[in-house]
Amino acid sequence: MGMVRIISTPIGNLEDITLRALGALGEADLLFAEDTRRTRVLLDRHGIAARPVSLHEHNEASRIARALAVLREEGVVALVSDAGTPLVSDPGARLVSAAIEDGHRVEALPGASAVLAALAVSGLCDGAFTFVGFLPRRAGLRRDRIESYRARPEALVFFESPRRLAATLAELQEHLGDRRACVARELTKLHEEVRRGTLGQLAEAFAEQVRGEVTLVVEGASAETAEAPGAAPAEADAETVDQRVRELLAEGSRPREIAARLARETGVPRRHIYARALALRENS
């Protein structure tokens, strides 16, 4: 019987790794890494000579046979992701399932996690939380996914691309109400930033594109926010607003300016127009 070790690695600061993880990385007969270049930096920093083999969403299925061959010889297969705890919005689930089905041991070596780090600094979690991960890219699926969490009382944790951060914050405000939230960016790195405020405040604060890894924590629903996050404009109004937003974007107006102007012209809440402007700018 072989062993699969799921090893957590630093989310930024290379010193944030356990002694046990360092030993396991050096002892593995086969080391799978999501990005071998990033893992090589970590290995070199700590003087580990292991040669990582790539395992990502496009080749995971083809790597399973190689892993099982090592495991059947009672070897040790180690798995790391780009950063943090593997299998959290990262590949590896199929490999682990195949190893379990084949009768091998699987153990986790805990360590850094962007989810837990963001929760810890957010001030918004009293114990319970739901990890949402990345929202779907398609507008309808995104809306439905967000709406499905509207009445949940626990904190919600999202991963998001820095390029889509402002649009996502505005979209969450539109569907969940203007709840408290925390944007944790580049955690444990040189340019770490933790900013707290309401979703609307944060959407404005991050209206210009940012860089780096982003984890977003949103407070859970109260009785008021679960029932009434804010009335969305009627369908006909939404079509009219979208058309005007596209025209003003084409003229070079900024989402904040568009929201202020069209709120006066149409009577549609400013936050809804702002969310649409960010979304339409993103998709243009």
Domain boundaries, the chain: 3-112, 115-227, 235-283
Residue whose pair of structure tokens reads 């993880």 in the numeric block: 21
Q: Looking at the predicted structure, is the pLDDT value of residue 83 above 50?
A: yes
Number of C-beta neighbours around residue 208 at 10 A: 7
The Cα–Cα gap between 175 and 234 comes to 14
Which parts of 12-80 fold into alpha helices (H)? 19-27, 36-45, 60-72
| Over residues 97-123, mean pLDDT | 96
**pTM check: above 0.85:** no
Q: What percent of the chain is predicted at pLDDT more than 90?
A: 71
What's the pLDDT at 84? Answer: 94
Helices and strands (DSSP H and E) totals, the chain: 12, 10
Q: What percent of the chain is predicted at pLDDT more than 70?
A: 94
Structure tokens at 178: 């203007």
What residues contact 72, with CB distance under 8 A and at least 6 apart? 2, 102
Q: How confident is the model at residue 35 (pLDDT cuts 50, 70, 90)?
A: very high
Q: Looking at the predicted structure, is the pLDDT value of residue 107 above 90?
A: yes
Which stretch, 9-13, 56-60, 219-223, 236-240, has highest mean pLDDT? 9-13
Q: Looking at the predicted structure, is the pLDDT value of residue 93 above 90?
A: yes
CATH tag, 3-112: 3.40.1010.10
| Over residues 251-256, mean pLDDT | 87
Amino acid at 253: S
Q: Looking at the predicted structure, is the pLDDT value of residue 233 above 90?
A: no
Angle between helices 270-283 and 255-266 (to 10 degrees): 130
- Helical (H) or strand (E) element with 156: strand 155-160
Q: What is the pLDDT of residues 256-270, one digit of tens each?
A: 888 888 877 777 877
The Cα–Cα gap between 269 and 178 comes to 13
The Cα–Cα gap between 135 and 76 comes to 34
Report helix, strand and coil shares of the chain as percent, to nearest 5.
45, 20, 35
Q: Which fold has domain 115-227?
A: 3.30.950
Q: How confident is the model at residue 216 (pLDDT cuts 50, 70, 90)?
A: very high
Question: End-to-end distance of the chain based on CA atoms, in angstroms?
Answer: 53
What's the pLDDT at 213? Answer: 94
The Cα–Cα gap between 101 and 67 comes to 13
| Domain 3-112 matches domain 115-227 at the CATH topology level | no
